[in-house]
Amino acid sequence: MPGRKVLMDFEVTPDSHSLAAYRARGGYQALEKALRTMQPREVTQEIVDSGLQGRGGAAFPAGRKWQGIDPDDGQPHYLIANADEGEPGTFKDRWVLEYNPHALLESMLLASYALGVRHAFVYIRGEYDIPWRRLDAAVEEAYGEGLFGEDILGSGFSCDLFVFRGAGAYVCGEASSLLGSIEGSRAYPRNRPPRMTVRGLYQAPTVVNNVETLATIAWILRNGAAAFRAIGTERSPGTRLISVSGHIRNPGVYEVELGYSWAKFLHEDCGGLLCNKPLKAVIPGGISSQVLTGKDAKVLTAEEVECLTLDHEKLRSAGSSLGSGGMIVIAEGTCMVRLLQIMLRFYHHESCGQCTPCREGTGWMHRVIDRIVAGEGRPEDIDTLHHVARYNDGTTICGLGDAAGYAATAMLDNFRDEFEYFIEHGRSKFGGNLECR
Amino acid sequence: MPVMFINDQPVDTGEHRTVLQVALANGFYVPHFCWHPELSIVGNCRVCVVEQEGRGVGIACNMPVAEGLRIQTESEPVRAQRKAMLQFILLNHPVDCGICDKAGECTLQDYHYAYNGAPALSHEPKLHSTKFFPLSERIILDNERCILCSRCVRFTREISKSNVLGMEQRGDGMRVRPVEDRTLDDDPYSDNVIDLCPVGALLSRSFQYQARVWYLEPTASVCPGCARGCTVQLWHRRHEWRLKGLDGSHNERILRVTPLENPRVNGAWICNKGRDLGALFGRPRAGQALLKGRPVLLAEAIDAARRLVRGAGRRVALVSSWGSNEELRAFRNALADRFTSFVKADHRPGEGEVVEDDLLIRADKNPNTHAAQALFGNAPADIPDDTELVLVWGEGADFSTLPRGAKIVHLGAWLQPENGYADVFIPISIQTERHGHYTSFEGVVSAFEPCQRRPEGVIDAETLFPLLAAPPGSDT
């Protein structure tokens, strides 16, 4: 098994998601402890000490984000759990929502207590039906036992939770556009400054955290920041839920201790690649993270096993990121041109259209790659794609444009020969394969 | 006062809060599409990029001012990114400048020449969208030209508050559309979106295909539509571009009206009524002096009027609230002692017209009531039955309510049936034919300039009043 567990530390049974089962494994003790013995700022300090990083993609320290809010400034504050898990390849939050919803709810109560939040929201993507039912049932259970509402556990602290279902736009997973969606306007990402911890939902200070980030908080409060720091690496403490898909024998959601060996994870825990093919590339954290090539991965598979491990620093130094934990494994023999086409089609389709580079650039790249795949590519197309990708990166309001740029740049840099082959011959070097045969 | 540096020159940031405002106020031009001083910041065009030393390139419209901030507006990364953004904007823009009304005053055109200038990088066919989408009886929308800066949408939400426009769809299929079951007809300020549009996407039906803007020039004027006194620009053919082949009226026609920005009165906006001044001033003119409907020479009519002014017993004058400050003064100096004067409302709210609102439109539909009442009081017209002479200056008097025995001297500019009913009718000039000033209801005095020639046989009221005061038989 890939290391110690934080969220998957129990056996999944047909009713392990219920409140009774959660209580039986120590649930809501941290809440009682915090409400009775801790000040809100102490809860925040505990999270700062734990070194917990955001699990949504940017890996921003959660404690630092919380410190942006003064719980006593007299304004209303809002807490939002971002469960709009739209990143292709990512389905880890779904596991939390389906199998451990009370961990999220307890953590949200703790976070609300720490941040002085009266009304908390869960923004869940509309396509998630079972997770939504499970979450909704869990919220009802919690309300039934007085864990939400007025005067929780007799502490004088009150908090209400609203579950808000999205309507399926990828851009709503961006924290600031999610606010627009809740407010009932178009889900447009917002310009910073102001930061959301200054002016967010309904113009009030707001913290938006990923479901996995939030769900970890109950564990940290129960076991202490030191115990959390003992897991994972020095700079990336804790575990990550990794959703593995692609050409892999055992796809699914795995909880991996940060710093775990990549090769071991792929070849032992996930059962290796389909058809025993060699590894060509890995998209480590949802398609918005840069693709890692087999070249890097070979380092993994062969002698220097230690060289690449699953943690934020190592991947950042390798030029990618652990992103949202949506790992897509790509075996040798896959046509990267068609893969990029699919990725760019996604970004084109999901661009919200607010700011120029992404609105025009994603469509431009999509049309160029469509033409290449149709066999009508021109030699200058690669430079065009590079140019568009370059100016999609860092010029937009939100990260969607950046991500489309990364995707194209990483693919073009690493597999330029395949693109050149496709353009020169009008057909794929690998027969246009996306499946593993 | 915080001080920052733009292109290594220290500048005082003053009251401004963003780098873009500071740069523009200090003469460093930073191109921008979506930003507008009167509208909220959305930062979606991404063209106003500047380099903050040490922090890289970012948009200036949303960059807060800070002490000691060092900004470069023309560094190499800025130029490159700006150029790339313009290429993105032009990607699906049809570049049909040859048939576009905006050509010549189009921001995108200007920026392309100033900051891009390169041929298109893309070989892909342009995306097609709706052409000539009717937004209202006055405005059509060309979605292909639209660069989605959202200025028009923000205008209807933040300024006119009609909330008519919105965006639909997303990505490069996004379009400006009216919200369900509504059109821009609901918005009495709708035509401002035509000026706001940085490209030729929002087009005025009345101005469409009428003229290339480089053949036109504006004349500063004041809208006489209500007591607000909005300053406007009347656009007509440039003098040097007048065509002999066209008749005079065509060469002098007012082709469109735009606001003349004036923070004290109307800001950057005017209402739709002001846009229609061309039609108001284009009504059939009276150019013939009449004596009881019989055409006479102007001098003859003036002489007849003089005799009436001298001879009659009780005399009443209905003073026009469309007269300029100068004309009103001339009337007072020359004739006020011979008449009991009342200020008359020349125009009243028309059918379906917005009477008054919180933005600009005032209930008094006359431009100079304020100045006229300052001179002649605000008492309602009370004409005794034994009145022997009524001087009616301007429109809006109901002749059937005047005393039956009274003689009528009418000074009017328009061809109207009652002109022939008056004992003496003298045609006078209109606002576009003379200099003058109006005083708004707030007491703000604004000037208007002539842009049309006074027709033959028509006299300025300011010249006329001293003549009327002179004894019969004097020179005219």
pLDDT band at A300 (very low <50, low <70, confident <90, very high): very low
Whether residue A129 is found in the same domain as residue A31: yes
Say what the pLDDT of residue A39 is: 94
Q: What ipTM was predicted for this assembly? A: 0.91
Q: Tell me the CA distances in angstroms from A311 to A57, A245, B250, one per residue in order.
A: 12, 19, 76
Residue-averaged pLDDT of chain A: 90
At position A293, the amino acid (one-letter code) is T
List residues of chain B with CB under 8 Å from any CB of chain A: 41-47, 49, 56-57, 59, 62, 64, 81, 84-85, 88-89, 91-92, 121-124, 127, 147-148, 167, 169-174
CB contact under 8 A, B121 and A384: yes
User: Do A167 and A32 share a domain, yes or no?
Assistant: yes
| Distance of alpha carbon B131 from alpha carbon A242, whole angstroms | 48
Task: Name the token pair of A426.
Answer: 């009008």
With 70 as the cut, is the pLDDT of residue A304 above it? no
Sign of CA dihedral A10, A14, A19, A20: negative
| Token code pair at residue B320 | 């026009």
Amino acid sitting at position B156: T
Is the pLDDT score of A293 beyond 80? no
Q: What is the CATH number of the domain that holds A194?
A: 3.40.50.11540
pLDDT of residue B246: 79
What per-residue confidence (pLDDT) applies to A283?
Answer: 86
Query: Is A177 found in the same domain as A212?
Result: yes
Strands A77-83 and A206-210, sheet pairing: parallel
The interface residues of chain A toward chain B in range 347-386, judged by CB-CB distance below 8 A, are 348-357, 359-364, 367-368, 371, 378, 384
Are B450 and B254 in contact, with CB atoms under 8 Å apart?
no
Thinking of the domain B3-89, which architecture would CATH place it in?
Roll (3.10)
Per the CB < 8 A criterion, the answer to whether B77 and A345 are in contact is no
Q: Residue A345: which of A326, A328, A364 has the closest Cα?
A: A364
Per-residue pLDDT at A31 exceeds 70: yes
The tokens for A261 are 């060996």
Task: Please tell me which residue of chain A has the smallest CA distance to B57.
Answer: A395
The pLDDT of A54-58, averaged and rounded, is: 86
pLDDT in tens, B402-443: 998 899 999 999 999 989 999 999 999 999 999 999 999 999
Q: Classify residue A436: in a domain, yes or no.
A: no
CATH number of the domain located at residue range(s) B289-469 in this protein: 3.40.50.740
If asked whether residues A118 and A189 sit together in one domain, one would say yes
pLDDT for the residue numbered A301? 37
Contact B127 A363 (CB under 8 A): yes
- Are A368 and B44 within 8 A, CB to CB? no
Partners of B459 in beta bridges: B428
Q: Are A36 and A82 found together in one domain?
A: yes
pTM: 0.92
Q: By residue range, what is the domain housing residue A102?
A: 19-229
Q: Render pLDDT for B268-277 as a digit per residue (tens, 0 to 9).
A: 999 999 999 9
pLDDT digits (tens, 9 = 90+) for A393-434: 889 999 888 889 988 988 898 889 999 999 999 999 999 889
Cβ within 8 Å, pair B85-A362: no
Interface touch B174/A350, C-beta < 8 Å: no
- Chain B touched by A155 (CB under 8 Å): no
Are A163 and A280 contained in the same domain? no
Rounded Cα distance between B424 and B52, Å, is 73
The percentage of chain A sitting over the pLDDT mark of 70, rounded to a whole number, equals 95
Give the distance from residue A402's alpha carbon to the nearest chain B alpha carbon, in angstroms: 14
CATH topology of domain B213-281: N-terminal domain of TfIIb (2.20.25)
Determine, yes or no, domain membership for A403: yes
Q: Which pLDDT value is given to residue A297?
A: 41
**C-alpha–C-alpha distance, residues B381 and B398, integer Å:** 12
Alpha carbon A42 to its chain centroid, in Å, reads 27
B133-204 is classed in which CATH architecture? 2-Layer Sandwich (3.30)
- For residue A305, pLDDT over 60 is answered with no
Residue-wise pLDDT tens digits, B332-379: 999 999 999 999 999 999 988 999 999 999 999 999 999 999 999 999
Q: Are residues A55 and A150 in the same domain?
A: yes
Q: Each residue of B85-131: pLDDT tens digit? A: 999 999 999 999 999 999 999 999 999 999 998 899 998 999 999 99
Is the predicted pLDDT of residue B6 greater than 90, yes or no? yes
Query: What residues does each domain of chain B span?
Result: 3-89, 133-204, 213-281, 289-469
**A87 and A225 together in one domain:** yes
In terms of Cβ atoms closer than 10 Å to its own Cβ (0-12, 13-18, 19+), residue A134 is buried
Same domain as A311, residue A342: no
Q: Taking chain B, what is the end-to-end CA distance rounded to the nearest angstrom?
A: 63
Question: A100 and A80 in one domain?
Answer: yes
Residue with tokens 């590079």: A386
Region B450-466: mean pLDDT is 94
- pLDDT value for A3: 81
Q: What is the DSSP letter of B428?
A: B
Report the C-alpha gap between B476 and B463 in whole angstroms. 10
Q: Which two tokens stand for residue A243?
A: 């959703």
Q: At A312, which CATH number?
A: 3.10.20.600
- Taken in order B459, B462, B463, B466, is the CA torsion positive or negative? positive
Instruction: Look at residue A1 and tell me whether its pLDDT is greater than 80.
Output: no
CATH code at A401? 1.20.1440.230
A127 within 8 A of A170, measured Cβ to Cβ:
no
A193, B58, B64 from B50: Cα distances, Å: 16, 6, 12
How many structural domains is chain A composed of?
A: 3
**Residue A303 predicted with pLDDT over 60:** no
The answer, yes or no, to whether the previous bond of A194 is cis (omega within 30 of 0) is yes
Q: How many Å apart are CA B431 and CA B456, to the nearest integer?
A: 16
A394 in contact with chain B, both atoms CB, cutoff 8 A: yes
Examine the domain organization and report whether A111 and A148 are in the same domain.
Answer: yes
A249 shares its domain with A375: no
Cβ neighbours of B122 in A, within 8 Å = 364, 384
